[in-house]
Chain A
Amino acid sequence: MSTDVVPGVVAVVLVSIATLAIGTWGLRISRTTSDFFVASRTVRPRLNASAIGGEYLSAASFLGVAGLLLTFGAEMLWYPVGWTAGYLVLMVLVAAPLRRSGAYTLPDFAEARLGSSGVRRLCSVLVVGIGWLYLLPQFQGAGVTLRATIGAPPWAGSLVVAVVVLASVSPGGMRSITFVQAFQYWLKLTALLVPVFVLVAVWLADGAADPAAAAPHSWSVPLAAPGGGIGLYTTYSLIVATFLGTMGLPHVVVRFYTNPDGRAARRTTLAVLGLLGVFYVLPPVYAALGRIYAPSLVEDGSDVLVLALPSLMVGGVAGAVLTGLVTAGAFAAFLSTSSGLTIAVAGVLSQDVTGRRWGSVRLGGVAAFRVAAAVAVVVPLLMSLPAQDVAVARTVGLAFAVTASTFAPLLMLGIWWRGLTPAGAVAGLLVGGLGSGAAVAWTLAASPSSGWGPALLGQPAAWSVPASFLAMVVVSRLTRASVPAHAGRFMVRLHTPEAVQLQR
């Protein structure tokens, strides 16, 4: 090991210690089961928005977006735009009613709305599956980062993240992790923002070269390769997946239950839109500067662009400090997203699996949550160890396509359409989940190729989302007799402002 590794090591250690310290502080005020799952529903919009931002901005946002923009150009701007616009769609369609439903998790909502334990079980399986699918790339990304910055073996990064997440989540649950994640949003923003000022100053001093000069024409066109009809389809399919997929992400949805009421849920979402917008302006700056100062990364290794650019442009002690800063931000990204997903998966597992009676033993709420958290972390950790080379961004894309084709139709129809029946919901979840899941599983397994077939399978949302909606509506119409008796009553509860006192 040389002195190059010092900033990386210092950054990782400091972020881990800060995370554990804030988590422990949260422990002191976290006492009840309600604290564990939904922070007793008392988190104010501004704090909650920071926490959602901290949780949402994963490795894909912090490292992946800048790298993709460097290589492919404007077409990749749809990822950050879609990830932000997804919150607008979530706000206008589900935020307030979802909070007013009074359920802890997505399966709770499905059961309360449809009165069916079968739908509940299917939703639980989907939440755990999507959560693990999303945790996997976080652990892999951590491995890649530690290898790039301090030359550690790839499993070391995954292990460090898993241990820190478990240590910070298990003691304090949702209440303490809210503070941790709010802190990590501001850390991530600082870690990208401060270097940008320095790097842009260097760029101006060097004569402000044109980043697009060396780039091909397609770098300035926001359409997916290879353009034409296929490019248009792929772009719109990505838009559907990201705009609708956000509302179904289990770790995002679970956060909405921590708002005090429906109005606060809306206001939280507006603040999130602002925070994400501020953050996502920064990665394109790295990508543009990378075109000038890091041309060697364009073809190979663009994922480390954010980590490598400060030392390439500045050098010396200042470069080392900036490198430490971005490494800290990247590590915070892995930690916060993994923590949020762990909470969401553990919440479902503890209610449906570990909280049950096993033989003569029945764990209490908090103990069941801790056991579930351990399971939620260990399974994807073991999965990530052999598969260190699967592309990080592709797995995240799979998760968005799957949630857009399953939970998005369930939430939208469940909240706005009285006629949804349990059978209809199951049909839609199966059609959307199996369709999108099979399509992207095939894409991950097969080698990249071109043409309409691979395009349809590689970006399935544009057909799998309508298919899921159609299945829900058609089957619900066919099973009209089984519309839950309490559906009307439940709809009243979802849409009534808190100021109107109903008996509920």
Chain B
Amino acid sequence: MSDPPSRVRVTGPPRRRAHVVRAARTREIDAETALGEVFMRSLLREQLVLALRVLAALALTVGLLPLLFHLFPGLGDVRVGPVPVAWLLLGVLTYPWLVVLGWAYIRRAEHNERDFADLVGSVLPEEDR
């Protein structure tokens, strides 16, 4: 083996600046200033609107089924193969739909939180914990 290569100093990207910004903005929230209040209110409203949209999607699909069967009693006789359509909808298809709604909610909610974290200058851990 030849001589070891000369040492190179390796450094990360400058962080101090980001750190200062973060400290400043979280301090706004900590101190409950008008600016911190704006940050928190916007996050709160975004998350609430998201939650209400998911619930509306639930109400307009699963929640409308009783009304549909009440208005159109003939649906009780409809079959998909050997299975009455009510059994298929409520017994099987509702469950994957609930998972899809939940999955979409988590994506959006974590997105909102990441935006918020970026706004106040810190970063969410990248990989799932």
A-side residues, CB < 8 A to B, are 74, 77-78, 81, 84-85, 87-89, 91-93, 96, 208, 210-212, 217-223, 227, 231-232, 235-236, 239, 260-261, 263-264, 266-267, 269-270, 273-274, 276-278, 280-281, 284, 288, 416, 488-489, 491-492, 495-497, 499-503
Shortest A426–chain B CB gap in Å is 25
Across chains A and B, which 7 residue pairs bring their CB atoms closest together, nearest first? A277-B95, A220-B84, A77-B90, A497-B113, A92-B51, A221-B76, A74-B86
Which residues from B are CB-within-8-Å of A235? Answer: 66
| Most A C-beta atoms less than 10 A away, residue of B58, B65, B73 | B65
Bound complex: CA A266 to CA B101 (Å): 13
Q: Which among A81, A288, A492 is the interface contact of B29 at CB below 8 angstroms?
A: A492
**Max count, chain A CB within 10 A of own CB: residue among B65, B82, B95, B109:** B95
How many A-B pairs have beta carbons closer than 8 Å: the answer is: 157
Which one of A77, A208, A227 has the highest number of Cβ atoms from chain B below 10 Å of its Cβ?
A: A77
Contacts of B3 in A (CB 8 A): none
Excluding A218-B76, A273-B98, 4 further A-B contacts by CB distance (< 8 Å) are A88-B54, A270-B102, A270-B103, A500-B120
Whether B86 lies near A281 (C-beta < 8 A) is no
Residue on B nearest A281 in the bound complex, by CB: B92
Contact between chains at A91 and B65 (CB < 8 Å)? no
Given A91-B105, A495-B47; A217-B95 close (CB under 8 Å): no
Known A-B contacts A77-B86, A81-B94, A84-B95; A501 and B26 likewise in contact (beta carbons under 8 Å): yes
Residues of A within 8 A of B85 (CB): 220
Residues in B whose Cβ lies below 8 Å from that of A260: 129
Candidate in A212, A222, A503 with the most chain B CB atoms within 10 angstroms: A222
**Known contacts A266-B109, A270-B103: does B82 contact A210 (CB below 8 Å)?**
yes
B66 touches A232 (CB 8 A): yes
Contact of A74 with B90 at beta-carbon distance under 8 Å, contacts A220-B77, A221-B76, A273-B99 already known: yes
Chain B residues touching A, range: 35 or more
Cβ–Cβ contact B102 & A91, under 8 A: yes
Given known A-B contacts A231-B70, A263-B110, A277-B99, A499 and B123 have beta carbons under 8 A apart: yes
Most interface-central of B30, B37, B43, B84 (chain A CB within 10 A) = B84
Give Cα A284–Cα B86 distance, bound, in whole angstroms.
Answer: 12
Chain B residue with Cβ nearest A209: B82
Instruction: Indicate if the CB atoms of A263 and B129 lie closer than 8 Å.
Output: yes
B30 contacts A503, C-beta separation under 8 Å? yes
Interface residues in B114-129 by Cβ distance below 8 A to A read 114, 116-117, 120, 122-125, 128-129
- Whether A78 contacts B90 by the Cβ 8 Å rule is yes
Residues A220 and B101 in contact in the complex (CB < 8 Å), given A88-B54, A92-B54: no
Which residues in A have their C-beta under 8 angstroms from that of B110? 263, 266
> Smallest CB–CB gap between B98 and chain A, Å?
5
A232 touches B67 (CB 8 A): yes
Q: Is the CB of B90 within 8 A of A81?
A: yes
- Shortest CB-to-CB span from B60 to chain A, Å, is 13
Contact B70 A223 (CB under 8 A): yes
Residue of B nearest to A218 (CB): B76
Assuming the contacts A223-B69, A273-B98, A497-B124, asked whether A267 and B44 have C-beta atoms less than 8 A apart, the reply is no
A270:B73 contact, CB within 8 angstroms: no
Is A491 touching B122 in the complex (CB atoms < 8 A)?
A: no
Write out the residue numbers on chain A whose beta carbons fall within 8 Å of the beta carbon of B55: 89, 92-93
- Closest chain-A Cβ to B65's Cβ sits at a distance in Å of 6
Contact with A along B28-56 (1 / 0, CB 8 A): 01101000010010011001101100110
CB–CB B122/A500 < 8 A:
yes
Q: Report the minimal beta-carbon distance from B106 to chain A, rounded to whole angstroms.
A: 5
Report how far A211 CA is from B44 CA in the complex, Å.
Answer: 50
Q: Is the CB of A488 within 8 A of B32?
A: yes
How far does the Cβ of B86 sit from chain A's closest Cβ, in whole Å? 4
Q: Which of A270, A281, A500 has the most CB of B within 10 A?
A: A500
Q: Given the complex of chains A and B, what is the CA–CA distance between A19 and B128 in angstroms?
A: 31
Contact between chains at B99 and A495 (CB < 8 Å): no
A92 touching B50 in the complex, CB below 8 Å, given contacts A74-B87, A488-B32, A491-B40:
yes
Residue from A78, A88, A264, A502 within 8 A of B129 (CB atoms): A264
Task: Mark B11-29 against chain A: 1 for CB-CB distance below 8 A, else 0.
Answer: 0000000000010001001
Assess A220 versus B87: contact at CB under 8 Å? Given A232-B67, A263-B129: yes
Which chain B residue has the least Cβ–Cβ distance from A267? Answer: B106
CB distance from B48 to the nearest CB of A (A): 6
Q: Do residues A221 and B30 form an inter-chain contact, with CB atoms below 8 A?
A: no
Pick the contact of B76 from A92, A217, A270, A416 — CB < 8 Å?
A217
Is B96 positioned at the interface, with any CB of A under 8 Å from its CB?
Answer: yes
Taking the closest CB of chain B, its distance from the CB of A65, in whole angstroms, is 10
Distance of A19 Cα from B84 Cα, bound (Å)? 40
Nearest CB of A to B69, in Å: 6
Residue on B nearest A266 in the bound complex, by CB:
B106
- Chain A residues with CB below 8 A from B63, complex form: 239
Chain A residues with Cβ under 8 A from B123's Cβ? Answer: 499
Contact partners of A499 in chain B: CB under 8 A: 113, 117, 122-125
18 contacts between A and B (CB under 8 A): A81-B94, A88-B98, A88-B102, A89-B55, A92-B50, A220-B84, A220-B85, A223-B70, A232-B66, A232-B67, A236-B66, A276-B95, A281-B95, A416-B44, A488-B32, A497-B117, A499-B113, A500-B120
CA of A495 to CA of B82, assembled, Å: 48
